[in-house]
Structure 1
Amino acid sequence: MNILKKLENTEKLTNEEAMSLYNFDLPFLAKFANTIREKKHGKKTYFNINRHINPTNICKDICQFCAYSVSRKNPNPYTMSHEQILDIIEKSAKNNIKEVYIVSAHNPKTGLEWYLGIFKKIKEKFPNIHIKVLTAAEIHFLSQEYNISYEKLIEKIIESGVDSLPGGGAEIFNEQIRKMICGGKVSSDEWIEIHKLWHKSDHKSTASILFGHIETKEHRIEHMIRLRDLQEETNGFNAFIPLLYQRENNYLKVKKLLSEEEFLKTIAIARILLFNIPNIKAYWVTSTMKFALEAQKYGANDLDGMIEKESIQSAAGAKSKNSIHLNSLVDSIKESGFIPVERDSIYNEIKTW
């Protein structure tokens, strides 16, 4: 069986071979996914101590899956001041955060300097905190809104103190599906181009997929293979994050949730296909901590972090509005049979618990 030999040797699969993985049973996929996981990380499960901040919910775009931006589903607009953002970080710094993660809506009223200015202020005041901000969708929005090339904008972003980019905005790369769920937003080719340019600037980023909505298994496979090919070219992704769609308070008519088996199969397939991306993050914010820990048995090796407060996914029904306690996270990882390892944003190990 040709595919079996390829799996045993961790060889690159074709699109057709990758699609056939969904036909195998879960224990079969888990075997090969965990072989890759254990070669890379053993029994370690990573997390970091971070703070999420979502500074504005006023958005130029209307994504059908979004419950966060201002619309008739969410009629309460807000935009934080720089002082409010710095005050949040000041308080979080007392909890020894290593990373501040800032993503939000595409607000045409704030101005490019509002974005660049707050990054500079954070870096000046908290030089040891890693700044992970601006999805490729936000970079595309700023580029279009202020008539500035991706290259020049990335240069300005780096000069303002940004350390790495999150993987948001990827959603699903198939353009027909994108037109239905996030028409007008950054295209898949533009998302790829922005991350390629970011990697060429010698900086790391994460990659993501939004799944469990109206996409098909074929769309997921195509998405992951495009990421695999970009990673082969740039080696700039340090993690892949499968984001499970949240169905409350938005415009997509998705009545049936993804089954636990298909969620875990997708995690395992991601680990098998994306053998060249070192980490697979089971993001507890969208999957719940229970399933994120279960996913560690199917190829995932990371959970994200403390979060402290999260607004985007929780607006759509995720139970992630508030932080998880450090001791609770550590204990849960141990009880699941794994070794808790605190990491920084680029996966340097800080402490083994």
Structure 2
Amino acid sequence: MDVVEKVRKGERIGMEEAMALYDLDLYTLGKLADEKRRALHGKKSYFNINRHINPTNVCKDVCKFCAYSASRKNPNPYTMPVEEVVRIAKEAWDRGAKEVHIVSAHNPEAGLEWYLGMFKAVKEALPEIHVKALTAAEINFLAEEYGLTIDEVLDRMIENGVDSMPGGGAEIFDEGVRDYICKGKVSSQGWLEIHRKWHERGRKSNATMLFGHVEKREHRVDHMLRLRALQDETGGFNCFIPLVYQRENNYLKVEEFPTGQEILKTMAIARLVLDNIPNIKAYWVTSTINLALIAQEYGANDLDGTIERESINAAAGAQSAHGMPLEEFVHLIKDSGFIPVERDSLYNELKVW
């Protein structure tokens, strides 16, 4: 049985079949992924009204792909007072944001109470806002820096108002690639274990994959298969987000960047491999809004959100520093032939536009 037939029959595919999908022409692969997407979501494209807050860029780690942390490439360190984070969250709430997405650097000077107190202060000021915060890499850093177990950090996050976890810090799970691009950061096994423990607490999270740098196709598929295995165990992932590597202002010397076709193929294969993760997000910040909209025809069914402001990817060249107006977002989705659906952070539908 060939891989196309296997996919159409709804049978689970492994490493060899997933690699064979990359050899299909873009049209055939896109059609397969779109069939799966339509079966799950019809023509709906999801987004939320959210605000990204990146409270500090001071980081003890030196990841080669990062242009955000305060370093020789970005010599302007900052750490926001908690009051400023609360003010930003309030202003975003007043403009209709339902979620604050709070991720930043591994700042050894800020203190554990700064991290946790920030979430508590936001939640006290805005009890109904959804706080999505702390990547597995940040959690691992806090546990190591302050002599806590992972369980203790997770429990304190919940006590202080964190509702769900973002998927950052996953990068690529292959240990060799990981060692090269982000040595010293949370291990691949550590990342998966942190999300497992979070899911065991009845909480949801997302999962990412950074691609288009020094990894190979088989590393991407391996990454997806590891996520699929954990999802079989816990069912805790809402969404998978393939992040396109941003090339500016960092130390990862990449000569060849992925073509639009390669990006779309990876999105499509993610939809076909990850048969147990309901949503695939084409994060417009890293792929551009135009390619993210095209990706809706290649298996993706989500675009993230309005964002308002974003600093981490913008520092490496993404066009996301000031987010996107809601009206424009909705208009672009409609123009692409999809139905804009505003969702909450856990994918409950709030409004069909």
Please list every run of at least 4 consecutive aligned residues from structure 1 whose deviation after the TM superposition is greater than 2 angstroms: 1-5
1:119 aligns to what? 119
Question: Is 1:50 equivalent to 2:50 in the alignment?
Answer: yes
Deviations 1:3-37 (A, max 9, x none): 23320122211211111111111111112111111
Question: Do the aligned residues in 1 keep the contact of 2:3 with 2:20 (CA within 8 Å)?
Answer: no
Mapping of residues 198-213 of structure 1, within 5 Å: 198-213=198-213
2:15 aligns to what? 15
* Counterpart Cα distance in 1 of 2:266 and 2:71: 32
How many matched pairs? 353
Deviations 1:109-154 (A, max 9, x none): 1111111111111111101100000000000000100111111111
* Counterpart Cα distance in 2 of 1:267 and 1:331: 23
1:155 aligns to what? 155
Deviations 1:206-239 (A, max 9, x none): 0000000000001000000000111111000000
RMSD of aligned residue pairs (Cα, Å): 0.7
1:172 aligns to what? 172
1:64 aligns to what? 64
| Identity across the alignment (%) | 61
Provide the secondary structure at the position in 1 that maps to 2:279.
Answer: coil
Question: Do the aligned residues in 1 keep the contact of 2:3 with 2:21 (CA within 8 Å)?
Answer: no
Question: Do the aligned residues in 2 keep the contact of 1:205 with 1:238 (CA within 8 Å)?
Answer: yes
* Counterpart Cα distance in 1 of 2:249 and 2:118: 30
Question: Do the aligned residues in 2 keep the contact of 1:37 with 1:301 (CA within 8 Å)?
Answer: yes
Q: Quick one: which amino acid aligns to residue 8 of structure 1?
A: R
Provide the secondary structure at the position in 1 that maps to 2:185.
Answer: coil
Q: Quick one: which amino acid aligns to residue 265 of structure 1?
A: K
* Counterpart Cα distance in 1 of 2:228 and 2:35: 19
* Counterpart Cα distance in 2 of 1:25 and 1:5: 15
* Counterpart Cα distance in 2 of 1:207 and 1:173: 12
**How far did 1:256 drift?**
2.2
Provide the secondary structure at the position in 1 that maps to 2:296.
Answer: helix
Q: Which runs of 5+ in 2 are unaligned?
A: none
1:264 aligns to what? 264
2:131 aligns to what? 131
* Counterpart Cα distance in 1 of 2:263 and 2:256: 13
Question: Do the aligned residues in 2 keep the contact of 1:10 with 1:272 (CA within 8 Å)?
Answer: no
**How far did 1:255 drift?**
2.4
* Counterpart Cα distance in 2 of 1:253 and 1:133: 30
* Counterpart Cα distance in 2 of 1:10 and 1:151: 37
1:39 aligns to what? 39
Q: Quick one: which amino acid aligns to residue 160 of structure 2?
A: S
2:96 aligns to what? 96
Question: Do the aligned residues in 2 keep the contact of 1:36 with 1:275 (CA within 8 Å)?
Answer: no
* Counterpart Cα distance in 1 of 2:316 and 2:11: 38
* Counterpart Cα distance in 2 of 1:267 and 1:4: 16
**How far did 1:168 drift?**
0.2
**How far did 1:250 drift?**
0.1
* Counterpart Cα distance in 2 of 1:28 and 1:228: 24
Q: Quick one: which amino acid aligns to residue 221 of structure 1?
A: V
Provide the secondary structure at the position in 2 that maps to 1:297.
Answer: coil
Question: Do the aligned residues in 2 keep the contact of 1:68 with 1:311 (CA within 8 Å)?
Answer: yes
Provide the secondary structure at the position in 1 that maps to 2:206.
Answer: strand
* Counterpart Cα distance in 2 of 1:271 and 1:3: 14
* Counterpart Cα distance in 2 of 1:46 and 1:110: 35
* Counterpart Cα distance in 2 of 1:249 and 1:116: 30
1:73 aligns to what? 73
* Counterpart Cα distance in 1 of 2:113 and 2:81: 13
**How far did 1:260 drift?**
0.7
Deviations 1:42-94 (A, max 9, x none): 00000000000000000000000000001100000000001111111111111
**How far did 1:2 drift?**
3.8
